């Protein structure tokens, strides 16, 4: 099964985990990664689509084998990582002084106007292959958000993707504290807000298991 | 032939050399900023609709544009602009007149309390002082008041935090309640109902406009003695006039007063400057090429030309570094490192 993983730098952490834990998949799992700081801060927004050749374009080149273009039809499953805000950010709407009308519109905007949704739409123009989607890390940069609100926001994300036939991948619970934000000891640290390899391995396992279910189902 | 003062006037002072012999895209109005505006200078922007371009350009340039009423960074600009966020430094909506600026300032600093007037229409509620800020209206009258209070706090923060307050003057024609408060739009246009007994039209003249602007500036300086002001005049013509004049004549009347007030205040008050975006778009030297076919909307090329002129002056006169795109954040840098680390191993 040719699996295409498209995402931000967090997808690169999954790549590292996969290559350590399951090197036999190296030929079948392909990574198309655009760190958020690339292309003047555009990150995944820089990825374009060429309808003539049905390829996603504009991925950065790399000496380590990353491809510039992604031919959608070459893949049997897709995994979208980090192309939308985390449920923590979505839940933050409940903590702010906003009108009810704006809050509703904002929830819809966060769910539907993001790179995961955009890339999913482009993939579906060509392929009916299974798609899995994960948000950015549950990372709380500001005023704490109640865990109950994060849970509700996570359910809303899952429902959004579920209604589109996409499997939502919540962040592994082992990496979250009681407040449902990423445990500090799971992060590399020193300003590097990425999961340590052993915890990125949990995300890899989650993807592998979800794909196995999709394949057998 | 005797010497005259014109012998020492530089080329920019002569129409022939500065305009007639140049391609219009090579005309440089040679704005001389009176104070330094650097990459880290905290800038607030308010005013008529053209002021929104200023804020957006400052953001794109990675300058310290103040957003004192921020919403989630993941939200699309389209949604935020529809609801009046990320358009000005607080969610005031358009502040068209100098007297509206004074009114917002008096409310924000606690000199006056805003009236409790709320417009109801088909079960939805609208803020008379920013009737288009919430598409479809608010759910309750209380929500109108609560959200306005949030914006007033944000507006006060903008005054207190700004090192430079950019204000774009837009109109002289204005609508007042008989109790004295001013509306940004005629009641009954965007929302509400027009009542000829209570709603009064006033086309403000030079002295009234100047007084309001100066009072607003003084009020803000009590909150923030270091604040400086950069005034501009919107080049966008009036959509409609209630003056009885032809809309072209009314536009020229209104803009001439605003331009004169902006120039006069910049000349007479310290720490106040004028930037000639109005001239760049409206002067015959530019042959109206920066207008859309309706001859009212300023096209993106015009906006770019205005902002290029602004930034070029800051680069040349005050050493603003040339645009390089947004600087990467700490997270971005970490992301790049993570990418390299991952693909450098066992690839």
What is the pLDDT tens value at each position of chain A, 217 positions in all? 999 999 998 999 999 999 999 999 999 999 999 988 888 788 999 999 999 999 999 888 654 455 678 999 999 999 999 999 999 999 999 888 999 999 999 999 999 999 999 999 999 999 999 999 999 999 877 788 999 999 999 999 999 999 999 999 999 999 999 999 999 999 998 878 899 999 999 999 999 999 987 666 5
Contact assignment for B332 to A113 by CB distance below 8 Å: no
Residue B264 burial (C-beta neighbours within 10 Å; 0-12, 13-18, 19+): middle
Hey, what are B123's tokens?
A: 């079960």
User: What are the respective helix, strand and coil percentages of chain A, to the nearest 5?
Assistant: 45, 20, 35
- From the list A20, A22, A46, A69, the residue with the least C-alpha distance to A211 is A22
Query: Positive or negative CA dihedral for B244, B249, B255, B259?
Result: negative
Residue A16 with chain B: CB contacts under 8 Å:
341-342, 345
- From the list B175, B177, B171, B158, the residue with the least C-alpha distance to B104 is B158
Question: What is the set of domains in chain A, with CATH numbers?
Answer: 3-212 (3.40.50)
How far does the CA of residue A24 sit from the closest CA of chain B (Å)? 12
Hey, what are B281's tokens?
A: 């778009």
Residue of A nearest to B149 (CA): A97
> What distance in Å separates the CA atoms of residue A194 and residue A175, rounded to the nearest whole number?
11
Contact assignment for B139 to A101 by CB distance below 8 Å: yes
What pLDDT is stored for residue A61 in this prediction? 63
Q: What is the pLDDT of residues B304-344, one digit of tens each?
A: 999 999 999 999 988 887 775 544 443 444 445 455 455 55
B4 at A interface, C-beta within 8 A:
no
What pLDDT is stored for residue B210 in this prediction? 98
What is the pLDDT tens value at each position of chain B, 347 positions in all? 679 999 999 999 999 999 999 999 999 999 999 999 999 999 999 999 889 999 999 998 989 999 999 998 889 999 999 999 999 999 999 999 999 999 999 999 999 999 999 999 999 999 999 999 999 999 999 999 999 999 999 999 999 999 999 999 999 999 999 999 999 999 999 999 999 999 999 999 999 999 999 999 999 999 999 999 999 999 999 999 999 999 999 999 999 999 999 999 999 999 999 999 999 999 999 999 999 999 999 999 999 999 999 999 999 988 887 775 544 443 444 445 455 455 555 43
- Decide: pTM greater than 0.80: yes
């Amino acid at each position: 099964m040719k699996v295409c993983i498209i995402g931000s730098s967090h997808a690169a952490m999954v790549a590292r985990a996969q290559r350590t834990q399951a090197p036999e998949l190296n030929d079948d799992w392909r990574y198309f990664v655009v760190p958020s700081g690339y292309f003047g801060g555009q990150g995944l927004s820089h990825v374009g689509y060429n309808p003539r050749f049905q390829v996603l374009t504009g991925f950065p080149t790399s000496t380590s084998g990353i491809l510039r273009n992604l031919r959608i039809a070459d893949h049997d499953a897709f995994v979208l990582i980090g192309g939308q805000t985390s449920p923590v950010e979505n839940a933050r709407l409940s903590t702010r002084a906003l009108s009810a009308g704006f809050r509703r519109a904002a929830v819809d905007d966060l769910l539907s106007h993001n790179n995961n949704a955009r890339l999913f739409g482009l993939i579906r123009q060509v392929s009916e292959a299974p798609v899995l989607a994960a948000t950015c890390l549950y990372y709380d940069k500001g005023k704490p958000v109640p865990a109950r609100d994060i849970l509700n926001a996570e359910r809303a994300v899952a429902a959004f993707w579920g209604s589109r036939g996409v499997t939502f991948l919540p962040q592994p619970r082992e990496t979250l504290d009681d407040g449902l934000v990423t445990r500090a000891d799971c992060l590399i640290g020193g300003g590097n807000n990425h999961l340590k390899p052993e915890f990125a391995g949990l995300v890899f396992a989650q993807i592998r298991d979800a794909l196995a279910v999709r394949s057998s189902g | 032939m005797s010497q005259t003062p014109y012998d020492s006037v530089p080329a920019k002072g002569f129409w022939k050399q500065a305009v007639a012999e140049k391609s219009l895209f090579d005309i440089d109005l040679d704005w001389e900023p009176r104070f330094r505006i650097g990459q880290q200078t905290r800038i607030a922007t308010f005013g008529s609709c053209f002021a929104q371009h200023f804020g957006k350009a400052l953001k794109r340039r990675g300058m310290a544009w103040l957003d004192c009423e921020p919403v989630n960074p993941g939200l699309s600009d389209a949604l935020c602009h529809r609801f009046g966020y990320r358009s000005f430094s607080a969610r005031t909506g358009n502040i068209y007149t100098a007297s509206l600026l004074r009114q917002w300032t008096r409310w924000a600093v606690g000199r006056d309390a805003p009236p409790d007037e709320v417009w109801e229409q088909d079960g939805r509620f609208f803020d008379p002082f920013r009737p288009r800020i919430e598409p479809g209206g608010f759910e309750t009258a209380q929500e109108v008041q609560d959200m306005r209070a949030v914006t007033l706090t944000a507006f006060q923060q903008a005054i207190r935090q700004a090192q430079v307050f950019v204000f774009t003057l837009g109109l002289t024609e204005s609508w007042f309640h008989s109790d004295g408060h001013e509306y940004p739009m005629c009641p009954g246009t965007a929302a509400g109902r027009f009542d000829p007994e209570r709603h009064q039209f006033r086309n403000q003249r030079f002295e009234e406009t100047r007084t309001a602007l100066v009072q607003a500036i003084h009020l803000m300086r009590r909150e923030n003695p270091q604040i400086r002001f950069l005034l501009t005049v919107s080049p966008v013509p009036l959509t409609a006039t209630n003056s009885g004049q032809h809309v072209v004549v009314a536009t020229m009347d209104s803009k001439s007063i605003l331009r004169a007030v902006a120039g006069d205040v910049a000349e007479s008050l310290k720490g106040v400057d004028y930037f000639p975006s109005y001239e760049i778009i409206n002067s015959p030297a530019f042959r109206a090429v920066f207008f859309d076919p309706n001859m009212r909307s300023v096209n993106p090329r015009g906006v770019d030309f205005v902002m290029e002129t602004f930034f070029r002056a800051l680069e040349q006169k005050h050493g603003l570094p040339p645009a390089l795109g947004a600087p990467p954040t700490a997270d971005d840098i970490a992301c790049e490192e993570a990418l390299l680390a991952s693909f450098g191993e066992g690839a």
